[in-house]
Amino acid sequence: MKKLFALLAAAVALPLALGATGAAAQEKVIRIPFATAFSGPFIQFGERLWRGGLYATEEINAAGGVRNGIKLEFYKIDTRSPETAPFIAEFRRACENKDVPMILANTASTQLFSVYEYAKECNMAIFAPTAGAHWVFPDYGKWIYRFLPTPATVLPVLYTKVREEFKAKTVALSYTLDDQFSFQNLKVAREVLEKQGYQVVADLGTKLKETNFGPQVAEVRAKNPDIVIVSHQPDDGGKFVLQLRERGIKTQIVDAGFTISGADFWKLSNGEARGAVGFTTYASDDPRPIVQAWVKKWQEKTGAKDAAPDAFETATYDAVKVIAEVLNKAKSLERKDIADAFNAVKNFDTVTGTVSWGGAFGEAERNNPTLITIGDNGKLLRWPQK
């Protein structure tokens, strides 16, 4: 017992003591909290997003940092997704700490909703580049800035094109039941499909991280739809497609959200995902130099010469670039000025297209998101191929 207490005391006292020495060596640096799921069921996304952000940070610091020489640095905050309470506590701490200019919250929308009330009192910009759910509140607390194009705007365009290209009328829906992301996209997809006159012949819900899609595949074969719409996390989607193709079913796969644009989709389908169609924020064969530079950098860093980065890493890479831009253009590092700088972003060019804020709500205005198809080695290519 005594040992335990001694250990605890040491664990608390030691860093404090060492910290006292660390305080002396201070360089000019801006530290921004990077909140995402670093433990728990969603750890795979957290680490990947952190890396995307890291590449961007290195680039920025190598080019001289922000605001004439100040280094940019991110530190980790674990949201312990699907828990909500830890993020609230950390958010409030970040609010309290006047040195923190803004927070980069790479979380699902659930966590964002949970801090909504606190955000109103906090007066600090919250940038959430990977939250894409339907916004349920009447405003964005003035301080929440989102980034992804919402399915509601894109799916109608996608499905109309799908109908043109594939002459599709009947649909099988495969989705993840307990994932907020997938479920939300599915809801939107259902509405759009109904409006466009598609007929849903099979409704297949699975749980997160399911490995056995046998029964679902059998359903698809029996009902024989024209297309199969997937709304899963990328890895579950990949497994599903693998098992579908193994069975000899050649039905066209269409996305309902960000299923096919994650790297795991290609990897876990063992290449069978080629030809799947969906939308995302960028395409790797986009000739714009900024896109090609990012693709090249990613290939160097990861050593994968034939592949291309996926949508999530790209989103975070862009997010950090946006943050750098905002920090550069802000009048000062006061929180209000940073928020104003966000609102003043107009047609800033990123890998994922141009982005602007400043409307009445915190959604980003993007140029049209790209319709994509999966090509060799999982590269995201523009669709339809011209």
Partner 1 sequence: MDPISADFLARFGDIDLQKIWRDLYLHYTGVTWAFLFDLLTDYSLYLISALGLYVLFFAGQVSLGHAGIVGVSAYIAGIVSVKLGLSFYVALLAAGLAGMLTGFVFWYLVGLRLTLFYLAIGTFAITEALQTLALNSDYLGAALGFHGIPLATKWYHVFIILGLVMFAVWRLEQSRFGLAMRAIRDNPTVAGAMGINVARTKLLAWLFAGFCTGLAGCLHAHRVTILTPPEFSILMSINFVLAPLLGGLRTFWGTIIGGAIVWWLPWITTTDDPRWRLALYGVILVALMVFRPQGIFPATPTRTTGFRGDQAARARSVAPRPAAWSISRSREGGGGRPGITAPGTGFAFERRTIFGYACGDPNHAAAGCRANGGGGCS
Partner 2 sequence: MQFGFLVEQVLIGIATGAIYAIIAVGLNLIFGTMNVLNMAHGSAIMIGSFGVLLSYYVGVENFWIGCAVGIVLAFLTGLLVERVAVRPMKGNWWNTKIATIGMAFVLENLVTVITEGRPQLYPRPFNPVYYVVYGDIKTPGGTLIEISNIQLMLIALSILMVVGMVLFLYRTATGKAIRVVAQSPDIARCVGIDVKRTIVVGFAVSATLAGIAGILNGVTFGSTYSFIGFQLILKGIVVLIVAGIGNMRGCLWVGMLLGVIESLSVGLGESTYRDFIAYSGMVLVLVFRPWGLFGEEGRVQREV
Measured CA to CA, the distance from residue 161 to residue 135 in angstroms comes to 26
Q: How far is the CB of 359 from partner 2 (least distance, A)?
A: 37
> Considering the complex, what minimum distance in angstroms separates the CB of residue 10 from partner 1?
11
Task: Choose, by CB under 8 A, the member of 209, 288, 296, 301 that binds partner 2.
Answer: 209
Q: Least distance (Å) from partner 1 to the CB of residue 297?
A: 16
Which single residue is written with the structure tokens 């099988």? 172
Spell 15-39 as b/e; 16+ CB within 10 A means b: eeeeeeeeeeeeeeebebbbbbbbe
Listed residue (94, 108, 92, 97) closest to 36, CA to CA: 108
Side by side, the strands of the sheet bearing 144-146 are 71-78, 29-36, 102-105, 125-128, 144-146
Which amino acid, one-letter code, is at 48?
A: R
Nearer to partner 2 (CB atom), residue 235 or residue 325: 235
Stretch near partner 2 under the rule CB under 8 A, chosen from 56-64, 150-158, 243-251, 311-319 = 243-251
Q: How far is the CB of 367 from partner 1 (least distance, A)?
A: 28
For residue 201, give the 3-state DSSP assignment.
strand
CB-nearer residue toward partner 2: 68 or 211: 211
Amino acid 141 reads G
C-alpha dist (Å) from residue 334 to 281, 314, 338, 340: 31, 28, 6, 10
| Residue 222 binds: one of partner 2, partner 1, none (C-beta under 5 to 8 A by kind) | partner 2
Residue 200: CB atoms within 10 A of its CB come to 16
Handedness of CA 146, 149, 153, 155 (dihedral sign): negative
Q: Site residues for partner 1, window 20-59 (CB under 8 A)?
A: 22-23, 25, 31, 38-41, 43, 47, 51
Nearer to partner 2, 127 or 266 (CB): 266
The listed partner (partner 1, partner 2, none) that binds 61, CB under 5 to 8 Å by sort, is none
Nearer to partner 2, 12 or 218 (CB): 218
Asked if 268 interacts with partner 2 (CB under 8 A), we say: yes
| Nearest CA-CA partner of 255 in 281, 279, 271, 225 | 279
Binding site for partner 1 (CB under 8 A): 1, 4, 8, 11-12, 15-16, 18-19, 22-23, 25, 31, 38-41, 43, 47, 51, 75-76, 78, 80, 82-86, 88-89, 92-94, 96-97, 110, 113-114, 116-118, 133-134, 136, 177-180, 182-184, 187, 208, 302
Binding site for partner 2 (CB under 8 A): 41-44, 47-48, 177, 203-207, 209, 211-216, 218-219, 221-224, 235, 238-239, 242-243, 246-248, 264, 267-268, 270
